[in-house]
Amino acid sequence: MIKKAFLTMVAVGSSLSFAAEFDQQRVMEQLQALQRQVMEQQAEMNSMKARMSDYGDLVRGEVESAIDARGLAQVREVGPVISMRSNIEGLKLQGDVRFRAQQQKRNWVDGDSRTRYRTRFRLGAIWQTSEGWEIGAGLATGSSDGKAAQHTWSSSGPFDSMSIWLDYAYARHSWDVANLSLTIGQHRNPFVTSGVFWKGDLRPVGVTVQAGEAGFFGTAGVYDVLYQGSRTNAALVAAQLGYKTDFEGVNMTVAGSYYHYNTPTMNIYMPGNPDYDFHIGDLYAKIGAKVGEVGLDAYGHVWKNFGAGGPAGSGQLAIASRPDDEDLGWVAGIGAKFQGFGLNYYYAYVEADSAPEFFVYLGDDVRLPETNAKGHGVSLSYALTKNMSIGAAYNNLRQVVGTRKGEDYKLNFNYRF
């Protein structure tokens, strides 16, 4: 019995040993096959690299021959066409050009009608750095007063050249906490507002702090309005709190702001009226939604100058009313977009002392003052391509106090790049 058991164990052990040797041999054969495959692939890659090197040598030879044939040996000394410092992670260029035909009509000058052709060109660059800073700078047509970035054709001589000015230059640093950012320099308007209350081409210069979380946002800034030499500079301190939300396809923005111009600002306008200041509070709201393929929006903006004071005739435009009776402004508008078409309408009412005249954009289109103006306008545009659009606009404005009125027609061609 024991002998039979022993023989059985020997037989089983022999079978296991043979199986192990067989598996080991099969594994070795697979490894050798895999090794041959890797070597073949490596040889093929080396061959491809050699061919690529030959092509590179051929291209370089052709380029060198072309340079010599054209006598441009100095090109070899130029080096890289664009070189940026190691801390620059990216550069973005952007801009736009607008060509405009504009006609103005006024009732207070007999037969007064003027047709102008105008160009607006803007080019900007934004550098992103590895140190968390964004550096931006832009150029634009226009004039040194910064009120309008456009040039009227042949306005200073036959086929005159257009002036290019520094439109903005700023440095911005951002933090991950509450979307906090700090901007220093001259930059685009950081406040949520209407185009009537804040002139679109006007760039504040100073310091801006912004933050936002869970739909709430806040902006505060200190800006230098006018340098006055040995006197205290005219300055603006402004703050805004707001909320943005998007609920079931309906988006809404509400914001309230306060703009406090210091007393020396009034030295520009009314040095003889100590009771007059620009201390402006405003409220802005906008709502938008999409109904089928049509995008709709509506907005309203109202503001009041709580600093207007003094006797009749002592306001910034010296009209007959008291400044505190002409301290309100408001604008309301609606818009629609459909398959590249855009249609917008607004009505504005801006009393003479509701805001600084240089700050608002309304009456300039018919050569009224920017304040003490009221009226409405409509515009239609169509996007021919993603970046190119054409449009037309009409404005009908008149004085709030006074009888002057005028009309303005525009045809625009815009291209963004």
pTM of the model: 0.78
User: Tell me, what's the pLDDT at 81?
Assistant: 60
- Give the tokens for residue 352: 């003479």
The answer to whether the beta carbons of residues 379 and 393 sit under 8 Å apart is yes
What is the pLDDT of the chain when averaged over all its residues? 86
Assigned token pair, 165: 């000015």
Q: What is the DSSP string of 115-140?
A: EEEEEEEEEEEEEEETTSEEEEEEEE
Verify that 17 and 142 share a domain, yes or no.
Answer: no
CA 317 to chain CA mean position, Å: 33
What does the chain come to in residues? 417
Task: Give the tens place of pLDDT for each residue, 347-389.
Answer: 999 999 999 998 999 988 888 889 999 999 999 999 999 999 9
Same-domain pairing of 27 and 136: no
Whether the predicted pLDDT of 11 surpasses 60: no
pLDDT band at 24 (very low <50, low <70, confident <90, very high): low
Q: Return the pLDDT at 133.
A: 95
Which pLDDT score, from 0 to 100, does residue 13 have? 45
Choose one of 79, 109, 132: the last residue of a domain. Answer: 79
User: Is it the case that residue 238 has pLDDT exceeding 90?
Assistant: yes
Note whether 186 and 313 are same-domain residues. Answer: yes
Rounded Cα distance, 6 and 11, in Å: 9
Q: The domain containing residue 147 runs over which residues?
A: 88-416
- Alpha carbon 55 to chain centroid distance? 45
3-state secondary structure of 354: coil
Q: Are residue 44 and residue 116 in the same domain, yes or no?
A: no
Sequence-ordered list of residues with C-beta below 8 angstroms from that of 211, at least 6 positions apart, any chain: 178, 179, 180, 181, 217, 218
SS3 391: strand
275 and 150 both lie in a single domain:
yes
Same domain, 104 and 237: yes
How many CB atoms sit inside 10 A of residue 215's CB? 12
Q: Decide if 326 contacts 353 (C-beta within 8 A).
A: yes
Of 56, 79, 102, which marks where a domain is finished?
Answer: 79
Which residues lie below 8 Å from residue 387, measured CB to CB, with a gap of 6+?
Answer: 415, 416, 417
CA distances (Å), origin 162, targets 11, 120, 122, 143, 158: 104, 10, 12, 10, 12
pLDDT at 234 over 70: yes
For residue 271, the model assigns a pLDDT of 64
Same domain, 37 and 114: no
The verdict on 139 and 37 lying in the same domain is: no
Predicted pLDDT at 33: 73
- Per-residue model confidence (pLDDT) at position 100: 97
Express each pLDDT in 307-322 by its tens digit: 999 899 888 888 989 9
Q: What is the pLDDT of residues 96-108, one digit of tens each?
A: 999 999 999 988 7
CA pair distance 124, 170, nearest whole angstrom = 11
Please state the rounded mean pLDDT for residues 201-222: 96
Co-location of 59 and 98 in the same domain = no
Q: How confident is the model at residue 156 (pLDDT cuts 50, 70, 90)?
A: confident
Query: Same domain, yes or no, for 236 and 353?
Result: yes
Q: For the residues 278-287, what does the mean pLDDT come to?
A: 97
Candidates 210, 207, 202, 201; CA nearest to 242 is 210
* CA 330 to chain CA mean position, Å: 25
87 pLDDT band, cuts 50/70/90, is: confident
pLDDT of residue 20 exceeding 80 = no
Alpha-carbon gap, residue 417 to 225, rounded angstroms: 31
At which of 79, 108, 128 does a domain end?
79
* Residues 412 and 266 grouped into a single domain: yes
Same domain, yes or no, for 61 and 104?
Answer: no
Total domains, the chain? 2
Is 368 within 8 Å of 106 (Cβ atoms)?
no
Place of tokens 């005159």: 160
Residue 26: Cβ-neighbour burial (10 angstroms; 0-12, 13-18, 19+): exposed
Residue 408's CATH number: 2.40.160.10
- In 3D space, the residue among 222, 225, 182 whose CA is nearest the CA of residue 206 turns out to be 222
